[in-house]
Amino acid sequence: MKKSWSILTILFFALSCKQNYDIPLSAVAADLLVVEGYLTGSTQGTTILLSKSVAGSAEFTRNPESGAIVTVISESGTVQPVDEIADGRYVSNNIVLDASENYKVHIQTKNGNAYESAFVPYIQTPAIDSISWRREDDDIQIYANTHDPQNDTRYYRWDYDETFEYNSFFYSNYEYVNGSVIRRAFNNIFTCWRSGVSSNIFIGSSAKLTNDVIALAPILRIRNGEVKLSVRYSIAVRQYGLTKDAFEYWERLKKNTEQLGTIFDPQPSANKTNITCVSNPAEMVVGYISAGAVNSRRIFITNAEVQPWNYRAFCEEITVPEDSVEHYFALGIFIPTQEWSGVFTRLGYYASTRSCVDCRGLGSNVRPSFW
């Protein structure tokens, strides 16, 4: 319906005209520091991501902020550094945080500006009870379940790393090496693994309940037929306890950034932050710092458990006569799969395009350590 609305807009403004509108310079929020981080002493380690915003109309690339000095400071005054490993990723695996303390992050960017978060409490995030899944319609919906015996946490956020194993459409016994087709010693391009991280926001709250129990908080949904479950799928969900304030931040962020505004879209509005620029309090900062324990849990789902799973790839095999192998295989667009045999002789090879034979186009053939 959205699309028809905008066509409608153009129509009913038949006499209208559309001109470019440049956001007034005073309103451009480019080069704002963006801070993302959850301070934790868990084995996950503390990662703080620093980047800069770009103007709304600018070509968009992630704009990391390197060269900052990042420290975590407790209310009692202990200071622990978090060092940059690359591209605005500041990581510390040996930070020690005390559940009874409040912490803040202090950031000095390379241009000399200092930023600080508010002091945030260290949330004793309970463990994930289980990551469950079930069939919903034809899809697989994954849920997180947890409870806090202390009835203390109440607000949760989850993100995940996912990995799935998949196969090439055709199994290849041959390869083209130095101008001739030879039998493969070992096919390492049939099975691969691909990993990803969550890009959506998953939050949940038990604030309305008498007990702090989260049952079946929806995380990811895998549509029937997706490649993710064509062989085997694994998801590692991380659970973060939040304060109420932080929960509202994430909730707003989720709603605000679902879509860009057209005239018929809902009106978004600015989100709050708990980070301020100390050296220039008027400067806007984006992001929200929280602290607490991070718990993680991994599950596996195999294709056999989710049958029927209508995964379909569309690949065709061609036949390549013996005298044409160079023509077909030299450029690497086609890869031989099997021998094409006549009654008495080999006529050539069956072959298919690289993406149908070599799984490495989408992932890696290195088996993950946890697989």
The interface region with other proteins, picked from 69-77, 179-187, 259-267, 335-343 by CB under 8 A, is 259-267
Per-residue tokens: 197? 């991280």
168 vs 267: CA distance, rounded Å: 45
- Name which of 20 and 76 has its Cβ closer to other proteins: 20
Task: Report which of 107, 98, 48 is spatially closest to residue 76, judged by C-alpha positions.
Answer: 98
Beta bridge partners of 79: 73
Q: How many other CB atoms are there within 10 angstroms of residue 48's CB atom?
A: 24
Task: Kindly identify the residues of this chain, within the stretch 309-338, that bind other proteins according to CB under 8 A.
Answer: none
Residue 193 backbone phi and psi in degrees, to 5: -130, 140
Strand pairing of 102-108 and 69-74?
A: antiparallel
Least CB distance to other proteins at residue 288 (A): 9
Contact between 141 and other proteins per CB under 8 A:
no
CA distance 292 to 331: 53
Nearest to 163 by CA among 313, 308, 363: 363
- CA 238 – CA 241 distance, rounded (Å): 10
Stated as kind and residue range, the H or E segment containing 3 is helix 2-12
> Is residue 269 close enough to count as binding other proteins by CB under 8 A?
yes
Q: What is the C-alpha separation between 101 and 98, in angstroms, rounded?
A: 5
- Which residues neighbour 223 within 8 Å (Cβ) at sequence distance 6 or greater? 138, 139
Find the shortest distance in angstroms from Cβ 250 to other proteins.
8
Query: Does residue number 2 form part of the binding site for other proteins (CB under 8 A)?
Result: no
Amino acid, res. 176: Y
- By beta-carbon proximity to other proteins, the closer residue of 266 and 361 is 266
Identified binder of other proteins from the candidate list 12, 186, 344, 370, rule CB under 8 A: 12
Is residue 25 near other proteins by the rule CB under 8 A? no
Indicate whether 255 belongs to the interface with other proteins (CB under 8 A).
Answer: yes
Among 1-9, 130-138, 324-332, 346-354, which window interacts with other proteins (CB under 8 A)? 1-9
Site for other proteins in 172-201 (CB under 8 A): 197-201
The residues facing 165 across adjacent strands are 193, 232
Based on CB atoms, which residue is closest to other proteins, 264 or 371?
A: 264
- Between 214 and 356, name the residue whose CB sits nearer to other proteins: 214
Using CB under 8 A as the binding rule, the residues of this chain from 50 to 69 that contact other proteins are 51-60, 62-63
Name which of 176 and 228 has its Cβ closer to other proteins: 228
CA–CA distance, 79 with 315 (Å, rounded to integer): 58
Binding segment (CB under 8 A) for other proteins, from list 22-30, 94-102, 122-130, 141-149: 22-30
Nearer to other proteins, 262 or 319 (CB): 262
Exactly one of 23, 85, 216, 347 binds other proteins (CB under 8 A); which one?
23
Size of residue set near other proteins by CB under 8 A: 76
Q: Is 272 in the site for other proteins (CB under 8 A)?
A: yes
Asked whether 335 and 352 are in contact (CB, 8 A), the reply is yes
Fill in the per-residue mask, 201 to 230: x = in contact with other proteins (CB under 8 A), - = not in contact.
x--xx-xxx---------------------
